[in-house]
Each structure stands twice: as structure tokens, then as C-alpha cells.
Amino acid sequence: MTHPERERLHDYADGLLPPEEATSMEDHLSVCDACRRRVASIRALTDELASLPRGIRPERDLRPPAPRPLRPGDRSRWPRVAAALALFLAAATAALLLPDGSDGDRETTFGERTPVPADVVLAPYEDAARQLATELDARRDRMDAETAALVQRNLGVLDAAIRDLQSAREVASSDSVLTGLLENRHRTRLEFLRRTLALLSES
Amino acid sequence: MIDDAVRRAQKGNPDAFDELYETHVDRVYALCLRMTADRRLAEELTQDVFVRAWRRIGSFRGAAAFSTWLHRVTVNVVLDAQRSARRRPAQLSALPRELRWSDALESPGENDPAGRLALERALASLPDRARTAIVLHAVEGYQYREVAELMDVKLGTVKSHIHRARELLLERLESP
């Protein structure tokens, strides 16, 4: 038996074959189980795809601040703030992308020293970052939408890097290299928050 | 006709922006996530969509529903990002798809049928253009011709992307 091409089966399942070809396809399907099952599968898949939920709730708040009318001086100020943050982020991102063994602050962070429990190393960073993040939240409405989105996006990148390393550390909890990398990421995040706040104060 | 929240947002009312975000974010994020199969990128693009939408909301005249307008903004933001990514091939494609796939879909809610997760995973595993085409057509309801215009490719190309996507999905769902 000669089977129709796959493309024809899809066109038939979509109702796109001209009437003459559709009739000849139906003749074939009436005697061919395999093609009949294939058409049924295509249609069932189409129905399943169409019934997927249209909405998925993101895991974190992604809203940018509502835009506000420009005040005198805004036009010249925000590009400078955004440019300064972008410069810092370029450097921070480059550090994040470095292979693990070539991390910039490796020697000063976790050279040959005696291992210290990770929680003790990281706690001061986490406390300081929490404090700065609260301060930043309180002043978020002073940023324009694009700068705020840039800040939020890059905090997301830094948080994700920290989460990845934390997951890795759960598997190898005594690994001092991972703790050192984690400390560097926390330090980058802290520095980013500090610079953002400093730039907000200057602007 | 322009609904009340949109009209208030056009006048700069911050509560109206919040209201519009709450109403539409799930749909925007779902579309970004399905088109990219990458949670972090989908989050970035969702933010970009709202930044772009808020910047342009003044030009929304109500010829179509706001949700339709925002949906189109979303599709354009994602397609623009994909075009830029193709010009810079290094980063995303270097990561295995499984690692990029969304935690959001790892734990479907209680009301989700068991097959949904398998289908979402299979969708995420498709080649980029095949996935984009089938999401726009089969999930979002765009006609072949509209998908071709959005993706800036020929109609025949869209059809073959979609047929290929279906074949791969059936294959992966039949033998997981």
C-alpha cells in the first residue's frame, strides 16, 4: 500500500487539503489503520496544545515601576546613572562568567587559609545586602523605569548565580572552593547594591 | 473602546499600571516562557515587555483590545530578542536545554492534568524556530499566515516548522 506523504497527513488533519485530495485521503484512511491513527494523534496533539493554560504566574515580581512625568534635570541625569551601572555590571558579569578557577579575587578570598564554616563567612554579606536591598526598595520610585528594570534584572542574574552555587554546595557542603565562589558572588551583589544607592544619592 | 485602567494609566495613574500588570503578567510570562524555554530569559523579557508597553501606552488608541495589543508587543519583544541572540550565538545555546527549562513548570498545580508537564517539557525540547512557530500557531491561535508575518519567513517555512514540531512532539510523547 502506498501511504500519503507526512505533509499531506498534517494538511488533512488541519482541514487544508482541497476537496478532491481530501476525498482521496479519506479513501486511503478507510483502509489504512496506521495513517488513521496518525491523523488522530495529530488532532489530539493539536487539541492538547490549544488547551494548555494561557497564563503562568512568574516566581517573582517582575513589574517595572510605573513611569512618572519627567522632572527638570531628569533627561540628563538618568542616562548617566544607567551608564554608570552598566559599566559596573559589565565588570561584574565578566567576573561571573569567568571559569571557576580564574575568579578575580580567588587568592584573597580562599587561598591557603584554614577553612571557615560557610555560614559564618556568608552571614555578614547576607545581613548587609538585606539592609541595602530594603533601602533600595524604599527609594525605587526615584529611578526611571529603564534604570529600575536594569537594576532588577541584574539583581536577578546575581541572585541566580548565588542560588546555583548554593545548590552546588548542598551537594558538596565542605567544598571551600564553592564557599569562596559564593563569597565572591555575595560581595559582587553587595557592591552592586552600594553603587546603585550611591548613584541614587548623587543624582 | 479603551478600558478604564488603560485610560487611567495613560494619564499616569500608578495604581492603574499595577492593575494592568496584575491582570496581564501571567499571560505575558507564559508566552515568553514557552517561546524561549528559558525561565531567566523569560523573566527578563517579561520586564522588557512591560517597560516597552508603559513607554508606548500613550499611543494605544483602542483599535484592538489592550490584551491583544500587549500580546503583540510580547511576541515582538521575544522575536527581537531571538533575532539578536542569533546574531550573538555564544551564550544561550551553550547551555543544555534541560538546565534552562523552567522550575515554574516543574511543579504543575493540583488541577493540571498529568500530561501537561510532559507536553510542556516536550515543547521546551524543540528546536527554537519549530517551538516558536508551534507555540504561536497551536497554543496562541495565530494562523499560519500571521505566524509567517511575525517570524518574517515564508508560509511554506512556517508549515514545515509546525509539521516538524508536531512530529517531534508525538515522537517524544510516545517514547518519553
- Asked if residue A199 has pLDDT above 60, the reply is yes
By C-alpha distance, which of B124, A182, A137 is closest to B116? B124
Q: What mean pLDDT do residues B132-144 have?
A: 95
For residue B149, which of B161, B162, B158, B140 has the smallest C-alpha distance? B158
- The pLDDT of A1-19, averaged and rounded, is 91
Cell of A53: 493554560
Q: In B, which residues are within 8 Å of A145 by CB distance?
A: 51, 54-55
Least confident of A64-78, B10-24, B69-83: A64-78
Task: Inform me whether the pLDDT recorded for A111 exceeds 50.
Answer: no
Confidence (pLDDT) at B133? 97
A125-177 pLDDT, tens digit each: 777 777 777 777 777 666 777 677 777 777 777 777 777 777 776 666 656 66
Cα end-to-end span (Å), chain A: 78
Q: Do B17 and A63 touch (CB under 8 A)?
A: yes
B155 — contact with chain A (CB < 8 Å)?
A: no
Cβ of A52 and B163 within 8 Å? no
Average confidence score pLDDT of chain A: 73
Nearest chain A residue (CA) to B24: A55
**Residue recorded with cell 493540583:** B110
pLDDT of residue A81: 60
B118 in contact with A, Cβ within 8 Å: no
Q: Which region among A20-34, A112-126, A171-185, B68-82 has the lowest average model confidence (pLDDT)?
A: A112-126
Closest to A14 measured CA to CA, from A45, A48, A43: A43
Judging contacts by C-beta atoms under 8 Å, the chain A residues touching residue B29 are: 55-58, 62
Interface with B, mutate which of A14, A17, A49 (most B CBs under 10 A): A49
Residue A50, amino acid? A
* Residue B153 confidence (pLDDT) above 60: yes
Asked if B7 contacts B19 with a C-beta cutoff of 8 angstroms, the reply is no
Asked if residues B166 and A42 have their Cβ atoms less than 8 Å apart, the reply is: yes
What is chain B's Cα-based Rg?
17
Looking at the partner chain, which of A7, A45, A64 has a beta carbon nearest the beta carbon of B51? A64
Could you say which DSSP state residue A12 is in? H
Q: A180 or B55: whose pLDDT is higher?
A: B55
Span B138-151, average pLDDT: 94
Lookup: cell for A65: 515601576
Where is B135: in which H helix or E strand? none
- Please give the mean pLDDT across all residues of chain B: 85
Suggest the residue from B31, B40, B43, B46 to mutate for an interface test with chain A (most A CBs closer than 10 A).
B43
Chain A positions touching B126 (Cβ under 8 A) are none
Whether B86 and chain A come into contact, CB under 8 Å, resolves to no
Residue A45 and residue B14: Cβ atoms within 8 Å?
no
Mean predicted confidence (pLDDT) in B157-176 = 92
Catalogue the long-range contacts made by A156-165 (C-beta closer than 8 Å, 24 or more residues apart): A156/A60, A156/B40, A156/B43, A156/B44, A157/A93, A157/A96, A157/B40, A158/A92, A158/A96, A158/A185, A158/A188, A158/A189, A158/A192, A159/A189, A160/B40, A161/A96, A161/A185, A162/A186, A162/A189
Q: Do B104 and A59 touch (CB under 8 A)?
A: yes
Amino acid at residue number B15 = D
User: Which amino acid type is present at position A119?
Assistant: D
Asked whether the predicted pLDDT for residue B173 surpasses 80, the reply is yes
Most confident stretch, A53-62, A79-88, A99-108, B84-93: A53-62
Average pLDDT estimate for A90-119: 46
What would the pLDDT profile of A13-60 be if each residue is shown by its tens digit? 999 999 999 999 999 999 999 999 999 999 999 999 999 999 999 999
In chain A, % of residues over pLDDT 90: 28
- Note whether A176 and A115 are within 8 A (CB): yes
How far is CA B101 from its chain centroid? Answer: 14
CB of B154 within 8 Å of a chain A CB? The answer is: no
Chains A–B, number of C-beta pairs less than 8 Å apart: 109
Give the pLDDT of residue A107.
32
Which of A6, A52, A54 has the CB atom closest to B167's CB atom?
A: A6
Q: What are phi and psi of B126, to 5 degrees?
A: -70, 155
Q: Among residues of chain B, what percentage have pLDDT more than 70? A: 82
pLDDT over 70 (residue A65): yes
pLDDT of residue A70: 44
What single-letter DSSP state applies at residue A114? P
Question: In the prediction, which pLDDT does B93 show?
Answer: 42
CA A143 centroid distance within chain = 22
What per-residue confidence (pLDDT) applies to B104? 45
Q: Are A154 and A86 in contact (CB under 8 A)?
A: no
Q: Would you state the pLDDT for residue A87?
A: 63
CB interface of B with A, residues 45-64, below 8 Å: 46-48, 50-51, 54-55
Judged against a pLDDT cut of 60, whether residue A112 lies above it is answered with no
d(CA B69, CA B65): 6
The C-alpha of A136 sits at a distance from chain B's nearest C-alpha, in angstroms, of 18
What is the residue type of B5?
A
